[in-house]
Amino acid sequence: MNETIRLLMARKSVRQFEQEPIPEEDVQQILEAAVQAPTAGNMSLFTAIRVTDPQKKAALAISCDNQPFIATAPLVLVFCADYRRWFELFASLNTGEELRRPAQGDFMLACADTLIAAHASVVAADALGYGSCYIGDIIENCDIQREILGLPAYVKPVCMAVYGRPTQQQKDRKKPARFAVSDLVHENTYRPQGAQEMREMLGARQGLEGDALERWLLAFCKRKWNCDFSREMSRSAAQMIDEWMQGK
Ligand SMILES: Cc1cc2nc3c(=O)[nH]c(=O)nc-3n(C[C@H](O)[C@H](O)[C@H](O)COP(=O)(O)O)c2cc1C
C-alpha cells in the first residue's frame, strides 16, 4: 500500500505519551506542515498557539473537561481561527469605502483553514512516529480559554491537539472501527439515512445486535449527547459566534 495512504488509514488517537520532549527539529517540521497546508485565498486564517508553560497546560487540562493527559503532553497546540491580522490590515488601507466587518462566512472559512492546518500537523507528527489526540473541548469555556491564551477579538479557538511519542500500550491499542465508505459517501444527491439505517450501520461497526446494541446506543447517547460537556460546548460556541459578530 502507498505509504501516505497507509499512514492515513492507520492513524488513531494517542492519549498517553512517553515523557520525553519532542526534539525541536521535529516540532518545527510539525509546525511547518501546518503552515504549508492549503488555506482559503492563501490567507492562512489561523494561528497555532504552542503552549509550553506548564501552568497554562495544567489550566487547559481542567478547562477542557478535565483531561489530565493534556497537562503532561510533550507538545500542545491550540489552533485558533484568526481574522484579526487581515482585518487590521484592511482597516489600515485607504479604500475610500466603508469596510465590512468579519462575519459568519469569514468565521466558517477561518475554521476550515484552522482545521485543515491542524490535521496537516497531526499527519506530519504521525509520519515522524509521534501520536496525537485532538481535544474538541477547547470550544468549551470560551471566557477561560481566552484568559489562558490571551485571545483578542476575531481570534477563536477551534481545536487543540496534543502530541508525543506513544507508550507501548497506546501503540498496541486497536484503532476503533469506522463506518463503511458507502455509509458516508452519497452520489450526486443527499440520501437521508434514518434511525433504522443508523442502527444497522452502527451494529455492523460495533459488532453488536439486538439488546446489546440498544444498550450501547443508550449509553452513547448519555455520554456524548445528553451530557454536560456538550451543553457547555454549544453555549460557549454560541457566545464565540456572537462575539465574532460584535468584534469582541
Ligand atoms: C474534533 C475532534 C475532537 C476530539 N476531542 C477529543 C477530546 O476532547 N478528548 C479525547 O480524548 N479525544 C478526542 N478526540 C478523539 C476522538 O475521540 C477519536 O478520534 C475517535 O474516538 C476515534 O478514535 P481514533 O482516533 O483512536 O481512531 C477528538 C477527535 C476529533 C476529530
Q: What is the pLDDT of residue 73?
A: 98
Residues forming beta bridges with residue 132, ordered by sequence position: 13, 163
Q: What is the pLDDT of residue 9?
A: 97
Pocket test for ligand 1, best of 8, 13, 172 (most atoms within 8 A of CB): 13
Residues with CB under 6 A from ligand 1: 12-13, 15, 67, 133-137, 159, 175-176
Q: 31: which residues sit within 8 A by CB, 6+ positions away?
A: 48, 50, 77, 121
Give the distance (Å) from ligand 1 centre to CA of residue 44. 24
Give the distance (Å) from ligand 1 centre to CA of residue 161. 10
Tens digit of each residue's pLDDT, the chain (248 residues): 999 999 999 999 999 999 999 999 999 999 999 999 999 999 999 999 999 999 999 999 999 999 999 999 999 999 999 999 999 999 999 999 999 999 999 999 999 999 999 999 999 999 999 999 999 999 999 999 999 999 999 999 999 999 999 999 999 999 999 999 999 999 999 999 999 999 999 999 999 999 999 999 999 999 999 999 999 999 999 999 999 999 99
C-alpha dihedral sign at 135, 136, 139, 143: negative
Domain map (residue ranges) of the chain: 3-175
Give the distance (Å) from ligand 1 centre to CA of residue 108. 21
Provide the H-helix boundaries in the chain. Answer: 3-10, 24-35, 54-63, 69-72, 84-92, 104-127, 142-149, 168-172, 181-184, 195-206, 210-224, 228-246
Cα 207 from Cα 184, distance rounded (Å) = 18
Give the distance (Å) from ligand 1 centre to CA of residue 130. 16
Q: Which atom of ligand 1 is nearest to the CA of 15?
A: 11
Domain 3-175 has CATH 3.40.109.10: yes
Q: What is the pLDDT of residue 175?
A: 98
Q: What is the pLDDT of residue 222?
A: 97
Give the distance (Å) from ligand 1 centre to CA of residue 112. 18
Q: Quick check: 111 and 147 in contact, CB under 8 A?
A: no
Q: Which atom of ligand 1 is nearest to the CA of 159?
A: 1
- Minimal-distance CA residue to ligand 1 atom 27: 12
Q: What is the pLDDT of residue 220?
A: 98
Query: Amino acid identity of 101?
Result: R
Helix (H, G, I), strand (E, B) or coil at 155: strand
